[in-house]
Amino acid sequence: MFTYLGYRLLELFVILLPYPLAYIVASGGARLWFATGSNVNFIKKNISIVLKKDIDDPEVHRIAKRIYINWGKNIADFLKHKVVSREKLKQRVKLEGLENLRKGLEKGKGIVIFSCHIGNFEWAASRIGVEGYNIWGVFLFRKSESTNKFFESNRLSKGFLTIYTNRLHHIFRHLKNNEIVAVPLDWDSTGKAAKSFDFFGKKAGLPTGALQMALRSGAVLVPCFIWRDGKYTHHQVIGEPVELELSGGKEELIEKNMKKIIPIMEKYIREHIVEWELFHNIWID
């Protein structure tokens, strides 16, 4: 209950602030968080591996700090989510590649979107939702039902629906109904489903859930990424469907198709490293 009340008070505080001031406060909070050192080494390790630089390199430190500030702004965006109209969201997020969703849904087996923790991924799904598509995102289930409802209602205000990791079997029903499910592929939130793959020249534990859902259901597998292109604006790209290999055993199919997916993830992470907000260690040392 205390966590829920904290979120509600923070939401009210941010909603009452004009957007420029909300970003100033969010950036200041992010700088303080960065100064505490919380998860900073995880972020720096991610950056150092992508850029092939020493973890103590000044550029790695600068980018890590920028990631925290961008994350703080994303939190402010999320807390203001209910008071940002659908039309305003469309103005804030320039969407490219919507035709790839339309074409994918023509097959009648749903779409699995894969992405990474780049940019304001909550807004990316919501931007699709305001176009009238039924889109579901996979999230961790919190112990507090009130807190879960807080996040659910915030997303739902823009047509973005929630599936929890303890109810993943529901995904196949949504795909059968020709709906859209969005799943990140750069971190295994369950801690049980990661497999080892080459990622930026290192071994990393990456989940294969999105791929396995598409293979099992026949759904179209589509990449989607978002990043900031201005102070208050974002650019979002829905890519062309991945042409999946369908012949072979289960493990063989996972290996062959992840080799198609991983270069797409690497491309967007490399191009938008200042927004790769992954506060976890995925690397296998």
Instruction: Give the pLDDT of the chain (285 residues) as one tens digit per residue.
Output: 658 888 899 999 999 999 999 999 999 999 999 999 999 999 999 999 999 999 999 999 999 999 999 999 999 999 999 999 999 999 999 999 999 999 999 999 999 999 999 999 999 999 999 999 999 998 888 888 898 999 999 999 999 999 987 777 889 999 999 999 999 999 998 877 899 999 999 999 999 999 999 999 999 999 999 999 999 999 999 999 999 999 999 999 999 999 999 999 999 999 999 999 999 999 998
Residue 142 has which token pair? 């919190």
Structure confidence at residue 105 (pLDDT):
98
Helix (DSSP H) and strand (DSSP E) numbers for the chain: 11, 9
Radius of gyration of the chain (CA): 19
Residue type, 269: I
Please tell me the pTM assigned to this model.
0.95
Three-state secondary structure call for residue 162: strand
Of 274, 273, 272, 244, whose CA–CA distance to 259 is shortest? 244
Structure confidence at residue 42 (pLDDT):
97
Of 16, 47, 224, 1, whose CA–CA distance to 122 is shortest? 224
